[in-house]
Amino acid sequence: MDQIRLRPSVPDDLDLMWTIHRDVWRPLAIRIGTWNELLQAEMFKQQFDPSIRRVIQFNQCDAGFLDIIEGKDFIYLQNFAVSPAYQRRGIATFLLRNILADARAREFNVILCVMKENESARRLYERLGFHEAAEGKGIYIMKKENRE
């Protein structure tokens, strides 16, 4: 059976996380004409925060990352990227179900953003009960409510 888990990020993860970020987002961004490699690399480096980043491991291999920010009554999934080499194996679904179960038990809402071009991710989020809460330039803000 496949093992999927999250481990804390450390500063040495930066290069690997950048590679995953680039491999995931570049094809989508190129389709809409917004990819600038140097700018993206610099922004990624500046925004790298090991205190909120979790590295996704699949069978003990680093397969992606997830930034989790917790508020008083919500969980915000800021960045969620699974390397193309590990996509379509149920990793995102497994992690999201666990996060949603934890949020439900704590009566926390879960919020995330998805690029409008990323239709497969949006379908996954909708399947798991997220709905569109707002719309921005090129993104949908999606929410799964867990409070009565």
pLDDT tens for each residue of 43-84: 999 999 999 999 999 999 999 999 999 999 999 999 999 999
Map out the domains of the chain as residue ranges. Answer: 4-144
C-alpha pair distances (Å), 146 with each of 74, 105, 111: 9, 8, 11
Write down the pLDDT at residue 43: 92
d(CA 56, CA 14): 14
pTM, two decimals, is: 0.90
CB atoms within 10 A of CB 34: 14
Nearest alpha-carbon partner for 70 in 102, 114, 44: 102
Q: Copy the structure tokens of residue 43.
A: 């922004």
State the pLDDT confidence band at 2, using cuts at 50, 70 and 90.
confident
Nearest alpha-carbon partner for 67 in 99, 106, 28, 43: 99
Write down the pLDDT at residue 147: 66
The strand pairing partners of 139, in sequence order, are: 115, 136
Write down the pLDDT at residue 148: 52
Kindly indicate whether the domain formed by 4-144 is annotated with CATH number 3.40.640.10.
Answer: no
Q: Copy the structure tokens of residue 49.
A: 């925060």
Q: Over range 20-38, report the average pLDDT.
A: 87
